[in-house]
Structure 1
Amino acid sequence: MKKLFLSLAMMLVFCVASYAQQSWSNDPAHSRLGFTVKHMTISEVSGRFTDFSVKVKSEKTDLSDLKIDVTAQIGSINTDIEARDKHLKSADFFDAEKYPTLTFVSTSHKKITNNKFKLMGNLTMHGITKFITLDVVYFGEVTNPMNQKKVYGFKVTGVVKRSNYNLGSKFGNAMISDNVKIVADLEFSKD
């Protein structure tokens, strides 16, 4: 009887732990990881990483321990100008051969309003890691009529200084702005 009780208790703990653990992945077809910089102080140039993934995990049902991991392949950078993309992948900027990925790993988050949050974490690119804070807007959830899964929508924005990552140090702020705007539109579903 004691063994049966112990087995049932272990199964209950496992079931509760399995239920509590939640994970989501971004839908690549409906997600975009982009950036914008000023060029010669008079115009803006935008680009994106076409190969990236976002994984979100939480052990707690209230999501207070939420962890977010982002990985983008530098070789997938796309500004719609092949020569510029090649230059951005070179040692003048990202040095994609030596540093093939950029990553963001969250360390904490803070609720500002019902649908706005601050997301803090470490951004690593070009071999350098810096702490950054991002703004997150939660757009809500709907049921996808195609597969009947819940889908969650977010927009993430922020600004990073390229000089903090030694990107394009030959090109001054008058040529390419030091501030780089990050804009990510993300759609998630549970794994």
Structure 2
Amino acid sequence: MKKILSLITVVLFSVSTFAQLVLKNDPAHSRIQFAVMHLGINDITGNFDKAALTINADEKNFANSTLAFSADVNSINTHVEARDNHLKSPDFFNAEKFPTLEFKSTSLTKNKKNYYTLKGNLTMHGVTKPVTLTLVYRGSTVNPMNKKTTYGYQVLGTLKRSDFNVGPNFPAPMINDMVRIKGDFELTAE
């Protein structure tokens, strides 16, 4: 009886192991971009150049997968050093006190082929709030450089900076409250 229980445990463990695929992003080909309207007439764009995404993918039912992504606030890059320094200051992100932006998924729902509604908790500037984003599976290919299967995912959404107390002294006519985000990630299995 003990041998049968041991065999069942091994089989169940093996099945759950094969059904789970842990994907981690390639930092050289991954970043989170943002765009916000300035003075009501022009988008200002930038990146968090250091961003990470991990997907614990359920290969049998992707909707059961979990995702987590983060960005190093000190890697903010708008291509204007003075603006980058201001965004890192207590006026906006306060990068010294809150150096990381983090998201952890709570649910994933398939909408149509390769498109999912991604819900989770975003922590930014010391504030955690539930947000709803879109996850797009962009496909997979074998990278000729390392011979690994590479998966492409994109995360899209719009956030209110006021929800996270980012830039509270800058009114919406100066810097819009709505910030569009787009994360592009290339991932490989661990």
When normalised by structure 2's length, the TM-score is 0.93
Distance 1:60 1:154 in 2: 15
Gap regions ≥5 residues in structure 2? none
Aligned-residue identity in percent:
45
Superposed, 1:41-120 pairs within 5 Å as 41-59=40-58, 61-120=60-119
The residue number in structure 1 matching 2:123 is 124
Distance 1:126 1:160 in 2: 13
SS of 1:152 mapped into structure 2: strand
CA contact (8 A) 2:30 2:52 kept: no
Aligned structure 1 segments of 4 or more residues deviating by more than 4 angstroms: none
Render the CA deviation track for 1:147-169: whole Å, top value 9, x for unaligned. 22211112221100111111111
Per-residue deviation at 1:141? 1.3
Distance 2:5 2:58 in 1: 24
Gap regions ≥5 residues in structure 1? none
Per-residue deviation at 1:59? 5.0
TM-align CA RMSD: 1.5
How many residues matched?
Answer: 190
Amino acid of the structure 1 residue aligned with 2:178: N
Superposed, 1:32-47 pairs within 5 Å as 32-47=31-46
The residue number in structure 1 matching 2:30 is 31
Amino acid of the structure 2 residue aligned with 1:102: L
Amino acid of the structure 2 residue aligned with 1:18: T
When normalised by structure 1's length, the TM-score is 0.92
